[in-house]
Amino acid sequence: MTEPLLQIEDLVVTLGARTGDHDIVHGISLRVQPGETLGVVGESGSGKTLTMLAVMRLLSPPLAMSRGSIRLEGEDLAALSESEMRGVRGRKVAMVYQDPMTSLNPLMRVGDQVIEAMTAHGVDDDEARRRALETMARVELPDPERTSRAYPHELSGGMRQRALIATALANDPTLLIADEPTTALDVTIQRQILALVKHLSDEFHMTTVWVTHDLGVIARLVDRVVVMYGGYIVEDAPVDQIFHAPQHPYTKRLLASLPNPADDSRPPLAQIPGRPPLPSESIEGCPFRPRCQEAIESCLTLPSLEPRLEGAVACWVPPERWG
């Protein structure tokens, strides 16, 4: 079994508040294999973004990683000094965010930002210039020469996102983390970006983590899916199993609540009562318990993530016993 590219063990992210410290991510573990595309799915309060920020060591007070380890290619990221970590950020691990308008420097030409991504890591100017144009062509930006001279506000949303992806890929990172990069985009543009990332991922054997709240977006994009809820991982399985044989009631109900495009009778949607827990709320036992139809007495005790079929699930009640 090859060594995972990214290995997160028992990660706890804590928020220090005036009224006392509070855990937001509750000891999660996951592995990403080299070349794999992983989808991390969760709603608000699931902890998915904080987990990625922890990987990048970008958590700032009052948030902090209070327990656990994060290893990139076997190396413990927490043990690195800040300047060593800077060498990792943007070079070994790159992150693409939701809003390219705020993630790109509005006062700097787009091409210069792609160049800066490289020169900040020691690449010389001429080499960086050359590679910048190459990368911009790779992300299918039309007329890279001309586009590189544009400012972010002069570009459309989709082009800005491509530019952002270019800055992320400029240094050929080992790992690309994309945090809701298409959420703010129109659906046709979203499709373009998804196709682009999939294509790049396949062509360059990139390892990618795709973070989103939209299950549909990742269905055809990823190899494996991790479902997060209330700061816990509730299910971790290959993509086909997640969609066709979900083992956790939350995953199942979430999928079932979507309108079925093949059903002409258009029945009322399979709704889920209640709402996701806020980071400030503590729930006894399983975080999904208050909303779960299958909840039993044991659910007052937090279930651990156990292997089932081709993945893992954190639930005391197997699908056979669901009502």
Partner 1 sequence: MSVNEVAWLEAEDTPPQRESTWRRLLASRSGQWGLILTGIVLGLALLSAIGATPYDPISQRPEDRLQGPSLAYLLGTDLFGRDVLSRSMAGVTSSLQVAVVAVFISAVLGTFFGVASGFYGNRVRGPLNALTNILFAFPPLLLALALASVATRNWFTVAVAIAIVYIPIFVRVTRAPVLSLRETDFIKAARVLGFSSNRILFRHVLPNILPIVIVQVTLSMSWAVLTAAALSYLGLGTPPPTPALGSMVFEAKNLAATAWWTMAAPGLVLIVFVVGLNLLGDGLRDALDPRNESNA
Partner 2 sequence: MVILEAVDLHKRYPVRGTELIVNAVNGVSLSLAAGETLGIVGESGCGKSTLARLLVRLEEPTSGQVLLDGVDLGSLSDRAMREQRRKIQLVFQDPYASLNPRRTAGQTLGEVLAVHGLGGDAKGRRARVYELLDMVGLRRSFSERLPHEMSGGQRQRVGIARALAVDPRVILLDEPVSALDVSVRAEIMNLLGQLRDDLGLSYVFISHDVAMVRHLSDRVGVMYLGRVVEAGPWKEVVDRPLHPYTLALREAVPVPDPRTGGELQASVSGEVPDPAQPPSGCTFHPRCPLAEEACWTDEPQLELIRPDHHVACHVVQREHGPA
* Subset of residues 39 to 58 that bind partner 2, contact rule: CB under 8 A: 43-44
CB 13 within 8 A of CB 64: yes
d(CA 196, CA 203): 10
261 binds partner 2 (CB under 8 A): yes
Count the residues of the shown chain that bind partner 1, applying the rule CB under 8 A. 20
273 binds partner 1 (CB under 8 A): yes
d(CA 257, CA 255): 5
d(CA 29, CA 10): 5
10 binds partner 1 (CB under 8 A): no
Closest to partner 1 by CB, 210 vs 250, is: 250
283 binds partner 2 (CB under 8 A): no
d(CA 231, CA 254): 17
CA atoms within 13 A on the CB side of 13: 29
CB 23 within 8 A of CB 12: yes
Q: Contacting partner 1 (CB under 8 A), which of 281, 304, 310, 322? A: 281
The residue with tokens 């089932």 is 308
257 binds, among partner 2, partner 1, none (CB under 5 to 8 A by kind): partner 2
Total number of residues shown for the chain = 323
Fill in the per-residue mask, 189 to 228: x = in contact with partner 2 (CB under 8 A), - = not in contact. xxxx-xxx-xx-------------xxxxx-xxx-------
Q: Which range, of 85-93, 128-136, 169-177, 249-257, touches partner 2 by CB under 8 A?
A: 249-257
d(CA 97, CA 181): 5
CB 31 within 8 A of CB 6: yes
268 binds, among partner 1, partner 2, none (CB under 5 to 8 A by kind): partner 2
DSSP secondary-structure letter at 261? T
**Residues in the site for partner 2, rule: CB under 8 A?**
43-44, 156-159, 186-192, 194-196, 198-199, 213-217, 219-221, 239-240, 243-244, 250, 253-255, 257-259, 261, 264, 266, 268-273, 275-276, 278, 291
**Residues in the site for partner 1, rule: CB under 8 A?**
15, 18, 273-274, 278-281, 283-284, 289-293, 295-297, 299-300
